[in-house]
């Protein structure tokens, strides 16, 4: 008779211990900043169906976790203030608490390396750290992470930290300097979120809906990759092969003997001691011919290549088996059944290096075919290489690529934020897209639309930092992907009433891709934010090209957003071009400032377009009284 109550008690204890302890979303963790003036979205996790008591700022509400184990509670908007404590209490008194919460403004800063560049690499570090302590400026850094599907939670839980000499050095410099300026002018708590990843393309940051609009074919290929990676690699391999075939007559993956091969060392080629490779950036083919037994060929097998800097496209016996991007992780490709056969097998790897070290990192033991029975066939003994022509261009990237894939970074780093209310977004990206600048404006529009949709505000301010200047100065009119991206950024800023271009064309260093002068970038971001988000009347972007009208033999370019008047520093403005229909028709043209317009002097030749600062690293001396520069633009002549 006593056995039954004992069993019931044991079952109750077991069920109680199985309950998931209540948790609070890390976006609302200790020291977080919650957006003022918008409904407050409290959220977290618990056992499915569990009812909790949630208390915040003197208000307590009851809420039940849904079937997915997530609880959500909306409270009315609050003004700036704090600190507050958030507590979620479940059955049996189990609870989670976040303390030292402030209500203020939250800004999300994102993009690639120039937004990622930390304060520790900016100018005047000692002075900046000496003045870094601000308990009402809070920083949240999101770890780099990709996901094949939108993640509902962070893989690496981020933590809010108050700004001080310990937390500031590793944080985004442009974001920090913007937030510091806004703290001074708005006098409310500021929360800054650093979600950045150097070397990434904009399509990696698109939400799934925007990604499908931007590239339906790639979206479908990514769907295939989720179901069958080997089949997707084969399909993308044919795309890669078509790209190569359009440029070169050889097919090294299928007919490797058509190339001339030399013995290849394992290790970055800059370390070989060969003067040719001392500063080599480009494409190199690698090949290894190995013998496989019939028993090995019948087993499951993996191709291991170790770390590669930075992109590989790999084949085994002419079958595409993998494509990856990255400087710091080991390649490992599972081979489809039937790829290998008894006897001689050929592994071919196309290696692309765009900067810094390139090739196989090594050591030799990292390169091999590994079989289910534990045996290994090394690649290094027969490894050879052949250098590709320098003008072949840049190969396509698959939609599962870490840095240039479709939505993968959004899915891993932005989606987990959920519908977090924000004050605005600061975006600094485009360097990677300069080599594929066509359509950048559409991708940028899709990005802003998708992020505004996630964060629940179609009018969310979106600040876009224009690309700086980097590369050789132009001695003649040239085609420029960097200028195309800047012009797309300009058109986005002028075409979206809730967006602004933040020009940085004059802050760059043509010899340094990552200029350390990020204080001025932060000042300009804060200026634009004050106009778009806080009601200031100063033009957010400075002078922006509006229209180009024919005036006799000349072309008059009008500008909006001019403070005072335009000025050509150190003389008349330089960098204007008049163009016909082709790139070859473009020529530099003299110009003079006339108040808020510029007259470009005609030369008697046809002119259907006018361009300005159309180069990767142009010389720009056209500013207004606010000292903000005119950025790259191209306009049709009406």
* Tens-digit pLDDT profile for residues 254-300: 999 999 999 999 999 999 999 999 999 999 999 999 999 999 999 99
pLDDT tens for 406-431 read 999 999 999 999 999 999 999 999 99
Helical ranges in 67-130 per DSSP H:
113-116, 125-130
- Residue 6 in this model has a pLDDT that exceeds 50: no
Q: What is the pLDDT of residue 403?
A: 82
Determine the Cα–Cα distance for residues 415 and 417; give it in Å rounded to an integer: 5
Q: List, edge to edge, every strand of the sheet that includes 633-636.
A: 587-588, 576-579, 609-612, 633-636
Number of residues that make up the chain: 638
Q: Residue 225: which of 309, 142, 146, 338 has the closest Cα?
A: 146
Determine the Cα–Cα distance for residues 436 and 243; give it in Å rounded to an integer: 14
- Contact yes or no for 112/431 (Cβ under 8 A): yes
pTM for the structure as a whole: 0.91
Q: What is the pLDDT of residue 295?
A: 97
Q: What is the pLDDT of residue 231?
A: 95
SS3 at position 635: strand
- Contact yes or no for 398/236 (Cβ under 8 A): yes
- Residue 11 in this model has a pLDDT that exceeds 50: no
Write b or e for each residue in 263-291: b if 16 or more Cβ atoms lie within 10 A of its Cβ, otherwise e: ebbbebbbeeeeeebeebebbbbbbbbbe
Q: What is the pLDDT of residue 15?
A: 39
As a 3-state breakdown, the chain gives helix, strand, coil percent values, each rounded to 5, of 25, 30, 40
Determine the Cα–Cα distance for residues 338 and 340; give it in Å rounded to an integer: 6
Measured CA distances, 261 to 35, 190, 268, 287, 614 (Å) = 61, 59, 18, 8, 41
C-beta neighbour count of 62 within 10 angstroms = 9
Sign of CA dihedral 410, 441, 516, 629: negative
pLDDT tens for 18-52 read 567 999 999 999 999 999 999 999 999 999 999 99
pLDDT tens for 429-463 read 999 999 899 999 999 999 999 999 999 999 999 99
In this prediction, residues 321-348 reach a mean pLDDT of: 95
In this prediction, residues 480-494 reach a mean pLDDT of: 98
In this prediction, residues 508-536 reach a mean pLDDT of: 96
Average pLDDT over the chain reads 95
Structural domains for the chain? 21-215+405-541 (3.40.50.1110), 228-387 (2.60.120.260), 544-636 (2.60.40)
Q: How confident is the model at residue 402 (pLDDT cuts 50, 70, 90)?
A: confident
Q: Cα dihedral angle (535, 176, 188, 97), rounded to 10 degrees?
A: 130
Q: How far is CA 135 from the centre of its chain?
A: 29
pLDDT tens for 111-133 read 999 999 999 999 999 999 999 99
In 270-325 the beta strands, taken as DSSP E runs, fall at 282-292, 301-309, 311-316, 319-325
Determine the Cα–Cα distance for residues 347 and 253; give it in Å rounded to an integer: 8
Share of the chain above pLDDT 70, in %: 97
Q: How confident is the model at residue 10 (pLDDT cuts 50, 70, 90)?
A: very low
Q: Cα dihedral angle (120, 125, 126, 129), rounded to 10 degrees?
A: -70
């Amino acid at each position: 008779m006593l056995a039954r109550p004992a069993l019931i008690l044991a079952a109750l204890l077991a069920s109680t211990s199985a309950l998931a302890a209540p948790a609070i979303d890390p976006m609302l963790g200790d020291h977080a900043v919650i957006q003022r003036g918008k409904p407050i979205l409290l959220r977290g996790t618990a056992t499915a169906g569990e009812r909790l008591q949630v208390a915040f700022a003197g208000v307590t509400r009851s809420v039940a976790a849904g079937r997915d184990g997530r609880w959500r509670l909306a409270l009315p908007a609050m003004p700036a203030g704090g600190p507050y404590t958030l507590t979620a209490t479940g059955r049996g008194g189990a609870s989670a608490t976040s303390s030292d919460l402030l209500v203020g403004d939250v800004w999300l800063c994102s993009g690639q390396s120039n937004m990622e560049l930390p304060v520790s690499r900016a100018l005047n570090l000692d002075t900046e750290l000496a003045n870094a302590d601000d308990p009402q400026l809070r920083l949240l850094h999101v770890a780099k992470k990709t996901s094949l599907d939108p993640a509902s939670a962070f893989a690496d839980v981020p933590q809010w930290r108050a700004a001080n000499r310990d937390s500031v050095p590793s944080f985004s410099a442009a974001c920090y300097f913007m937030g510091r300026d806004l703290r001074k002018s708005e006098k409310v708590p500021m929360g800054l979120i650093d979600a950045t990843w150097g070397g990434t393309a904009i399509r990696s940051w698109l939400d799934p809906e925007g990604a499908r609009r931007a590239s339906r074919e790639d979206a479908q290929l990514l769907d295939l990759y989720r179901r069958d990676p080997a089949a997707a690699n084969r399909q993308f391999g044919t795309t890669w092969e078509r790209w190569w075939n359009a440029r070169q007559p050889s097919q090294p993956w299928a007919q490797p003997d058509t190339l001339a091969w030399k013995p290849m060392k394992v290790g970055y080629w800059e370390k070989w001691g060969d003067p040719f490779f001392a500063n080599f950036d480009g494409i190199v083919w690698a090949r290894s011919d190995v013998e496989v037994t019939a028993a090995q060929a019948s087993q499951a097998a993996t191709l291991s290549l170790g770390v590669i800097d930075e992109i590989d496209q790999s084949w085994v016996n002419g079958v595409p088996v993998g494509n990856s991007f990255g400087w710091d992780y080991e390649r490992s490709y599972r081979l489809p059944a039937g790829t290998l056969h008894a006897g001689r097998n050929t592994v071919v790897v196309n290696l692309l290096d765009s900067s810094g070290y390139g090739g196989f990192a090594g050591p030799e033991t990292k390169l091999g075919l590994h079989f289910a029975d534990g045996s290994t066939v090394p690649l290094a003994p027969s490894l050879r290489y052949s250098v590709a022509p320098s003008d072949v261009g840049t190969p396509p990237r698959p939609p599962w690529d870490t840095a240039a894939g479709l939505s993968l970074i959004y899915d891993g780093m932005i989606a987990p934020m959920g519908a977090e209310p924000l004050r605005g977004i600061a975006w600094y990206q485009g360097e990677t897209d300069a080599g594929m600048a066509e359509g950048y404006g559409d991708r940028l529009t899709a990005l802003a639309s998708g992020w505004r949709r996630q964060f629940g505000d179609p009018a969310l301010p979106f600040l876009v930092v224009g690309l700086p200047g980097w590369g050789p100065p132009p001695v003649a009119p040239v085609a420029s992907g960097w200028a195309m991206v800047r012009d797309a950024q300009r058109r986005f800023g002028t075409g979206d009433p809730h967006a602004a271009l933040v020009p940085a064309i004059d802050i760059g260093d043509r010899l340094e891709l990552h200029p350390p002068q990020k204080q001025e970038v932060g000042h300009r971001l804060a200026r634009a934010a004050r106009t778009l988000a806080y009601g200031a009347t100063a033009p957010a972007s400075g002078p922006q090209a509006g229209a180009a009208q024919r005036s006799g033999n000349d072309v008059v370019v009008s500008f909006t957003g001019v403070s005072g008047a335009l000025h050509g520093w150190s003389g008349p403005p330089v960098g204007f071009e008049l163009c016909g229909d082709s790139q070859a028709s473009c020529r530099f043209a003299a110009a003079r400032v006339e108040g808020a317009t510029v007259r470009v002097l005609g030369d008697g030749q046809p002119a259907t377009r006018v361009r300005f600062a159309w180069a990767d690293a142009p010389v720009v001396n056209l500013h207004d009284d606010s000292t903000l520069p005119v950025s790259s633009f191209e306009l049709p002549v009406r």
